[in-house]
Amino acid sequence: MRSALLAIDVGNSNTLAGVFHGDELLHDWRISTERSATADELAASHDQILRLRGGSLDELDAMIVSSVVPTLTNGYRQLALKYLDHPAVVVGPGIRTGMSLAIDNPVELGADRLVNAVAAYRRYGGPCIVVDLGTATTLDVVSDTGVYLGGVIAPGMETSLDALTSRAARLVKVDLIPPERVIGRSTVESMRSGLVLGTVAMIDGLCAQIREELSGTATVVATGGLSGMVAKLSTQIDHVEPMLTLDGLRMIYGLNANAGPPRRVAEEPR
């Protein structure tokens, strides 16, 4: 019988979770990230959703976590020990990823960005660019030989919208949907043009420049909640993979399960 793996990606705004049996993603769900949540509260949230799908935390055999929220990293460690009776694999220093990092300080790299890079390279080869549309819009670059080269960080669409509406009294929240034209004929249309089409233009421009720096082509893979909409408007995005991060977590778990003492990320490539 295949083991059940719970994969958790804790982002600044949302937490994405999924259950794998082998390579198959059986369930996935998304909850708001609550930075003050205790291990018990985290367990209750995920167990409740699993029970709605006909399962429970008790049926899980393993757990892997990537997190950009340190307090919740500890919370999920405690959840695994308390409710799953085994430690969680946490993506970070000391974890095997199969990818060398050619950046100044590997410890600074967000776990989700590394996971995405691993998944994209394993799925499509290199060179590749991963565009993740979340709280931040990030682009991560992997070489043709599978080396993580670095990337770009910019405000995400929702983050930009929050900044606009909080600092400009006459601007209101709008739905992030593509406008019918670039030249907005109302404040709402103008905001959608700037936020949505502006993000697409930024992504396309950056991808084109990255390809030039790589002296050739690169496969562009988009992920994140808004990736489907953006990909339809983009001239640079080749593939949309909404569950890329979860799949990367599954891959990294496979590299670390029963693998013995891992080597440190910052000290030597893998």
Tokens of 251: 């891959």
Token digits of residue 34: 């609550």
Say whether pLDDT at 268 is over 70: no
Show me where the domains of the chain are located.
4-90, 104-243
Tens-digit pLDDT profile for residues 197-239: 999 999 999 999 999 999 889 999 999 989 999 999 999 999 9
Residues serving a catalytic function are: 112
Contact of 153 with 136, CB cutoff 8 Å:
yes
Across 185-208, b (16+ Cβ under 10 Å) vs e yields eeeebbbbbbbbbebbeebbebbe
Q: Inform me whether the pLDDT recorded for 270 exceeds 50.
A: no
Architecture of domain 104-243: 2-Layer Sandwich (3.30)
Rg of the chain (C-alpha set): 19
Helix then strand then coil, % of the chain, to nearest 5 = 40, 25, 35
For 80, the token pair is 């695994």
183 — phi, psi (to 5°)? -80, 105
CA dihedral 191, 197, 199, 205 (to 10 degrees): -140
Topology (CATH) of 4-90: Nucleotidyltransferase; domain 5 (3.30.420)
25-45 pLDDT, tens per residue? 999 999 999 999 999 999 999
pLDDT value at 269 more than 80: no
User: With 80 as the cut, is the pLDDT of residue 129 above it?
Assistant: yes
Distance linking the first and last C-alpha atoms of the chain: 30
What's the average model confidence in pLDDT over 2-11? Answer: 89
pLDDT of amino acid 3: 79
132 compared with 12, residue with greater pLDDT:
132
Residue 237 to residues 1, 186, 206, 230: CA-CA distances in angstroms? 38, 29, 11, 9
pLDDT tens per residue, range 150-189: 999 999 999 999 998 888 877 888 889 999 999 999 999 9
